[in-house]
Amino acid sequence: MNDLRDECIFIEEENDKIKDTINRLEQSADEVREIEGGLNDMARSQGADVQQLLHLVSSNKKFQSQMKEIIRLKAGQDLITLVMECDHDENFKISGPEVDELILRVSTLDSARIDENRFREAIEEQDGNVNLIIDMVGKTVGNNEAEEDLDFVHMADSVVYLESMRSQLFSEVAPRGQNW
């Protein structure tokens, strides 16, 4: 009988150990479930963030496209204005020193860069005719895939152009001697 009692006590002790182990495992399982819930929440949150990021990227792409269009139009406007301003004798021909002045003034534009030699050749091919030069500039600036022989104007990079405009704006409004 003592052996049987000892065996019962042993089984009860082992049963208590098993209950403790089960309790610890249940606590661990609860902790794992909490961690899993947190990870699922984080994944859902990041999923929404990924969607938001994709939306922002799409919006940024659209914004950059619009900026390029604005710069393209500004470049065309700037070039046409300079062509008109450089016709000092108002004979609707750009010739002699007017060509040199036009090329010099165009080279200072922020909105566009030109290949000076090709631009000079193009002016000569149009016999300096202001209307034909304006038409040629319009075709070049107005077409992202301009014909090879008209490809002498290159639009400014939008980031560089905006930085240039910002610098000009702040230099005009900043008090003398103060940098922003």
Residue 84 has pLDDT above 70, yes or no: yes
- The arithmetic mean of pLDDT across residues 142-155, rounded, is 59
pLDDT band at 148 (very low <50, low <70, confident <90, very high): very low
Confidence (pLDDT) at 142: 67
Confidence (pLDDT) at 149: 47
Residue 104 has pLDDT above 80, yes or no: yes
Q: Mean pLDDT, the chain, as a whole number?
A: 79
In the chain, the amino acid numbered 156 is A
- Residue pLDDT, tens place only, 115-145: 889 889 989 999 999 999 988 888 877 655 5
- Residue pLDDT, tens place only, 36-80: 888 777 767 777 666 777 788 888 888 888 888 888 888 888 888
Torsion 16-18-22-24 (CA) sign: positive
- Residue pLDDT, tens place only, 18-45: 888 888 878 887 888 888 888 777 767 7
Residue 150 has pLDDT above 60, yes or no: no
CA dihedral 106, 111, 117, 119 (to 10 degrees): -80
- Residue pLDDT, tens place only, 156-170: 666 677 677 777 777
Confidence (pLDDT) at 2: 78
Alpha carbon distances (Å) from 89 to 60, 85, 92, 95, 175:
46, 10, 8, 10, 40
Residue 178 has pLDDT above 60, yes or no: no
Residue 179 has pLDDT above 80, yes or no: no
What are the residue ranges of helices labelled H in 87-155? 97-106, 116-125, 130-141
